[in-house]
Structure 1
Amino acid sequence: MKRKTPSCLLSILIGLAFLAGTLLSGTNPARAAGETAVVAGTSVNVRNGPGTSYGVIARANLGDQLTVLDQSTDWYNVSLSNGGQGWIAGWLVDIQQPKAAAAGAGLVAVLNGNDINVRGGPGTSYGVITQGGSGDRFPVLESTGDWVKIQLNSGTGWVAGWLVSLETAQPAASQPAADEPTPSAVGSVGSGAKVAVVSGSVVNVRSGPGTSNAVVGTVTQGNSLQVLSQSSDWLQVSLPTGGNGWVAGWLVALKDVVSEPVQPATGQTDDSEVSRGGDRSDDSRDSDDDNDSNDSDTGRVLSMNVQNTASDQTTFTIRTDTPVSYNSFFLSNPDRLVVDIQGVAPGELPQTKEVSSKTVSKVRSGHFQKNPDVTRLVFELCSGVQSEVSLSGSNKTLIVDTYIPKLDGAYKNKIIVLDPGHGGPDPGAIGPGGTQEKTVTLDIAKRVSKLLEAQEAKVVMARSADTDVSLAARTDIANKNKADIFVSIHINAHTDPSIGGTTSYIHSGNGSSGEASRLQESDKLARSIQTEMVKSLGLRDIGVKQANFAVLRTSNMPAVLLELAFISNQAEEKLLQTDSFKNKAAEAIVKGIGTYFMQKKTA
């Protein structure tokens, strides 16, 4: 006769087995509660368990937002749109907390002139819906490029950012929750104040102190950010946009803010300089000027010198009376370089400076934001012009170089690995008209290869036919050939067919100092190619993004992944079927690569 197990003992054994299973699986429901997984890959597999050994039950597209139910090591259990659930790889999603206040909240746009047009959209091509006068104040809703969307008495409108000043409303102080770490103040302005100088290539700014908090923006190497407070290894900083956020302390260098006496400018300026003191020497400055510069707490731009160093190069030297940081970005249609100088007012810079060189037609300036001060410079570029922005060691002189690149010899003997995305049984994304991503990427890669070889580059194709090549094998090819760069070519897709545009990706990094140099070069390469693609293809500029894509993570050299257009967008799918578009894409990629190599050659 068999002995029965007592029911209480059986319950205990079942409970222990369940607990052991939970511990071994590594799930963490509390960790994942309330989070959203935003898909960072073009088309990502959803599986029926936490690992690649489990079967694929669905696909998620770039930008899809999935509610997180559970976590097991590097995998997340998520809710699907069809009511079911599945598992997705953690390195292919961005985990976000519920977002805080909308962008623009707490900002007010103050008009700086009379009869300023308010338009129906962000650009002069949009119709005028009303006008405003000097001193008129409007709540800011959002911004696009150098245009600001404002709330009107009835409806909304857009104004040019260089014609308004942005003021930050002072929020009421709030107490931290009892279970939250209390940030400690780090110095104060004028007394032991600190700035964080970004040492990483591209560093995420988060909504709170920790990687579990949502990414609210990025800062780049060399940016100087005022430190507001500290929590453990994380620093709360003022952002170039006027808000604030948190950065990892190991990705910045802390420096004391040293008050320096303002030295009067010496010598005389030439006709191409715009200065607070005009062309007067120090001896001719009256007491009012001295009192104005010494007693004011607001930093100012002192001068902007324009120098044509060559027929195809123009250099701008902007001097300030206090250390500054800056942020720069490129706008197309027409081509413009925008430079925001943080910490200073424009002084007496003119709103428009005619240049009429071969690289720049004019420069516009404005007091883009107050409290803190931001001076915005907009350089209207001629066709085919590249630009570089740098800051002197004292952080008081900003150099803006604009030039037409000479690409002769830039490609010679360079080893370039081209990786046409997908292939074989993997078609990649498929457009509404049936176009397959794998076919387009291979076609464009072959066109790129032909152009590069004509410039004496050594091209290696990760695949040259409709074959199945693993992700690891693609980067093995690049690593074994000791490639100078790795370029992966893809076509984007989204569940929303109205979304379109051009994007470039670099690896998000692992935080190690050894990878910083490679990421910095990858960023330079991506920005060179992205600039040319946006100019040539004429699609929406989504910018340079970071992701943990396998081909970017496992390559040893500067590596980029290009998303040329959205195959899910019917209009862009039709473009992808034309020789004209594919030729333009190939030529833009080649020109971007050449610009990158030429910058390295002349650095």
Structure 2
Amino acid sequence: IEVIDPNAPVMLRTVGDLPYLNYGLGTDRLGGSKIGHITEGILLEAVGKVGNQYKVRLSKNRTAYIPASCVEVQPAGTLPAQSLVGSWSVRGGKEADVVRVSLTERLPFATFHQLDPARVVVDIFGAVANTSWLTQYPETKNAIKSVDYEQVEEDIFRVVITLDHNAHWGHSVRYEGNSLIIRVKAAPKASLRGLHVAIDAGHGGPYKGAVGVAGVEEKDVNLDLAHMLREALEKRGAKVTMTRTEDVNVDMSDRVLMLRKADPNMMISIHCNAGGSPLKPLGTSTYYRHPGFQPLSTAVLKRVLELDMNNFGNIGSFNFILNSPYEYPNMLLETLFISAPAEEARLVDPKFRRDLIDRVVKGMEDYLKEYAK
């Protein structure tokens, strides 16, 4: 453990495509619990180092951890960053509205969902309100109902965006120069026709995933189901992006970047579960990270359970990297426990696979009917 002298601060600047902040040093097979991804070029003050993790100060009362691979040490004498918040603007667009917040330095931030009413919240650390006006242009209001701010602590400036609909359809937070750009997506039409859906087939290549007693490999089941889902969606007029289309390994970070570039309306990752007693079928489950995306996983699980499977649950706050993006509603489906012979047998049954994909599609349609426009 290395403690850094507060009288000689060590300043860091984020680098790379996917820098991220962790709450602490805890870890499991999915990695440490993440505050979220941030962007390159953000100035951070290091207050300590444990192994390959820097402890950084976000504000007077809040710290976080960031891997050394995500930052570059700045020259001695670099001072901690603070900024007054300058002018604001909100512009509308056909698919998204954009909030622009002017700063004098790229500061760290964290974003999260609020529900009832649906809101996007962005905390900017090291920022102090100095805002006299907020310019809203006439074409605004496709996604945003109102924008406000709050100085929640002396060095935490909070942006509060109330949505014009009752569901979260994705938002991104990026910097352009020193301006923080918050892009909030409007609700799509309540139809799969014209919708852009991303499908992730878990594992691949040398990474087999779980293997059943009869030797069935998870990676193969995932890929076949992903192709079946693609075909079903395309028949209904949807546009589909897949993170892999054959038996290859695609790095998880590359999948995130691929999906960020594709910018889908929603994403589903397909897996098979494993564990527990092989003699006890445990059933199916869905997973989500952010509360605003729970309705998608709930709708799919409800339909899949029509196939007479045990309900293993709808699990939230899931720390899987493909569930970390806020840019689009996303979920993970654990179809069945491939480690249980009875469920492995169902997974290789062509009729069951067809029925499963039919229920997934119906769940997606239910979600659109309830929450799209």
User: Aligning the two structures, in what range does the TM-score lie when normalised by the shorter sequence?
Assistant: 0.5 to 0.7
CA shift in 2, pair 1:540/1:241, >3 Å: farther
Conserved in 1, the CA contact under 8 Å of 2:2 and 2:48?
Answer: no
Cα offset for 1:240? 6.9
Cα offset for 1:562? 1.7
CA shift in 2, pair 1:335/1:349, >3 Å: farther
Query: Which residue pairs with 2:103 in the alignment?
Result: 320
For residues 255 and 535 of structure 1, the distance between their equivalents in structure 2, rounded to whole angstroms, comes to 46
For residues 230 and 87 of structure 2, the distance between their equivalents in structure 1, rounded to whole angstroms, comes to 44
Which residue, 163, 166, 179 being the options, matches 1:381? 163
Structure 1 segment 370-519 matched on structure 2, within 5 A: 370=154, 373-383=155-165, 385-393=169-177, 395=178, 397-404=179-186, 418=201, 446-447=228-229, 449-455=231-237, 476=247, 487-490=269-272, 502-503=287-288
Query: Which residue pairs with 2:304 in the alignment?
Result: none
Q: TM-score, normalised by structure 1?
A: 0.36
Asked if residue 533 in structure 1 is aligned to residue 296 in structure 2, the reply is: yes
CA shift in 2, pair 1:588/1:533, >3 Å: farther
For residues 193 and 323 of structure 1, the distance between their equivalents in structure 2, rounded to whole angstroms, comes to 17
Conserved in 1, the CA contact under 8 Å of 2:6 and 2:47?
Answer: yes
Which residue, 316, 332, 338 being the options, matches 1:562? 332
Cα offset for 1:359? 0.8
For residues 588 and 241 of structure 1, the distance between their equivalents in structure 2, rounded to whole angstroms, comes to 45
CA shift in 2, pair 1:215/1:581, >3 Å: same
Residue segments in structure 1 that go unaligned for 5+ positions in a row: 1-180, 261-296, 429-437, 463-473, 505-526, 548-559, 568-576, 591-603
Cα offset for 1:360? 0.6
Query: Which residue pairs with 1:340 in the alignment?
Result: 123
Counting aligned pairs with the same residue, the percent is 13
Q: Secondary structure at the match of 2:130?
A: coil
For residues 582 and 336 of structure 1, the distance between their equivalents in structure 2, rounded to whole angstroms, comes to 28
Which residue, 141, 163, 183 being the options, matches 2:3? 183
For residues 201 and 25 of structure 2, the distance between their equivalents in structure 1, rounded to whole angstroms, comes to 39
Q: Secondary structure at the match of 1:449?
A: helix
Query: Which residue pairs with 2:361 in the alignment?
Result: 583
CA shift in 2, pair 1:533/1:490, >3 Å: farther
Cα offset for 1:545? 1.9
Conserved in 2, the CA contact under 8 Å of 1:354 and 1:362?
Answer: no
Query: Which residue pairs with 2:16 in the alignment?
Result: 199
Cα offset for 1:362? 1.3
Cα offset for 1:377? 1.5
Cα offset for 1:450? 0.5
Query: Which residue pairs with 2:309 in the alignment?
Result: none
Matched residue pairs, number?
290
For residues 119 and 64 of structure 2, the distance between their equivalents in structure 1, rounded to whole angstroms, comes to 28
Q: Which amino acid aligns with 2:4?
A: S
For residues 205 and 250 of structure 1, the distance between their equivalents in structure 2, rounded to whole angstroms, comes to 13
Q: Which has the higher contact order (CA 8 A, sep 6+)?
A: 2
Q: Which amino acid aligns with 1:195?
A: L
Query: Which residue pairs with 1:306 in the alignment?
Result: 90
Residue segments in structure 2 that go unaligned for 5+ positions in a row: 204-208, 260-267, 302-313, 323-329, 338-354, 369-373
For residues 454 and 306 of structure 1, the distance between their equivalents in structure 2, rounded to whole angstroms, comes to 35
Q: TM-score, normalised by structure 2?
A: 0.54
CA shift in 2, pair 1:306/1:327, >3 Å: same
CA shift in 2, pair 1:536/1:340, >3 Å: farther
Which residue, 211, 215, 228 being the options, matches 2:47? 228
Q: Which amino acid aligns with 1:336?
A: R
For residues 315 and 228 of structure 1, the distance between their equivalents in structure 2, rounded to whole angstroms, comes to 34
Conserved in 1, the CA contact under 8 Å of 2:100 and 2:180?
Answer: yes
Query: Which residue pairs with 2:63 in the alignment?
Result: 244
**Deviation digits for residues 546-597 of structure 1 (CA, Å, limit 9, x no counterpart):** 49xxxxxxxxxxxx98236999xxxxxxxxx99997335445999xxxxxxx
Cα offset for 1:411? 6.3
For residues 223 and 365 of structure 2, the distance between their equivalents in structure 1, rounded to whole angstroms, comes to 14
CA shift in 2, pair 1:246/1:380, >3 Å: closer
Q: Which has the larger radius of gyration?
A: 1
Conserved in 2, the CA contact under 8 Å of 1:363 and 1:378?
Answer: yes
For residues 98 and 152 of structure 2, the distance between their equivalents in structure 1, rounded to whole angstroms, comes to 23
Conserved in 2, the CA contact under 8 Å of 1:194 and 1:254?
Answer: yes
CA shift in 2, pair 1:208/1:458, >3 Å: closer
For residues 488 and 241 of structure 1, the distance between their equivalents in structure 2, rounded to whole angstroms, comes to 42
Cα offset for 1:317? 1.2
Let me know the Cα RMSD of the aligned residues.
Answer: 5.8
Cα offset for 1:419? 6.1
